[in-house]
Amino acid sequence: MSPASRCRRGATGGVRGRGAVIRYTLVCAQDHRFEAWFAGADAFDDQIARGLVACAVCGDTGVRKTPMAPALRKPAPATPLSAPSNPVEKKLRALREKVEREADYVGPAFAREARSMHDGDTPFRPIWGEARIEEAKSLVEDGVPVAPLPRFGPAKPN
């Protein structure tokens, strides 16, 4: 006769929770962390109470569950720097793309070409290119309509 074991068997309720194993991350007194699987929360409590759960590293039986929600957080996704970040930048980018598509690229001859058209030496056409800052200033002072294009990405080396 073994009344204790019979009583125990009745208390655990037979097949309840079969297959529903749970995993705990455990930590021992030496702060070793390891994972262990249990048949359920009751089984975990029972095995802990009886000193059956030992640290996987040092064998210490003074283990406990780690607190939930560790302090590690995923960093926020990085913002791609090449994407227009606001409507204004989108418009500027569209403007630049329109100019590059529809205007003649004259490169470093821009100042000369712009002045030549302004003076009527050459027929007007939309152009774009590069000018040194003094050239651009000089054009503006002489009433030649020029506008800086918004620049994106790394500047071209001169």
Q: Which is nearer to Zn ion, 27 or 139 (CB)?
A: 27
Q: How far is the CB of 5 from Zn ion (least distance, A)?
A: 32
51: left (phi over 0), alpha (psi -120 to 50) or beta: left
Q: How far apart are CA 111 and CA 148, in angstroms?
A: 12
Distance between start and end Cα atoms, the chain: 98
Q: Work out whether 57 is an interface residue with Zn ion (CB under 5 A).
A: yes
Q: Work out whether 58 is an interface residue with Zn ion (CB under 5 A).
A: yes
Q: How far is the CB of 60 from Zn ion (least distance, A)?
A: 5
Q: How far is the CB of 61 from Zn ion (least distance, A)?
A: 10
Site size for Zn ion (CB under 5 A): 7
Q: Which is nearer to Zn ion, 29 or 147 (CB)?
A: 29
Q: How far is the CB of 87 from Zn ion (least distance, A)?
A: 57
**Which two tokens mark 113?**
């070409």
70: left (phi over 0), alpha (psi -120 to 50) or beta: beta
Task: Please give the residues from 2 up to 41 whose contact with Zn ion meets the rule CB under 5 A.
Answer: 28, 30, 32
Q: Any idea which residue has 């994106």 for tokens?
A: 152
Q: What share of the chain is helix, strand, coil (3-state, %, to 5)?
A: 35, 15, 55
Query: Candidates 50-58, 64-72, 110-118, 126-134 — which segment interacts with Zn ion by CB under 5 A?
Result: 50-58
Footprint of Zn ion (CB under 5 A): 28, 30, 32, 55, 57-58, 60
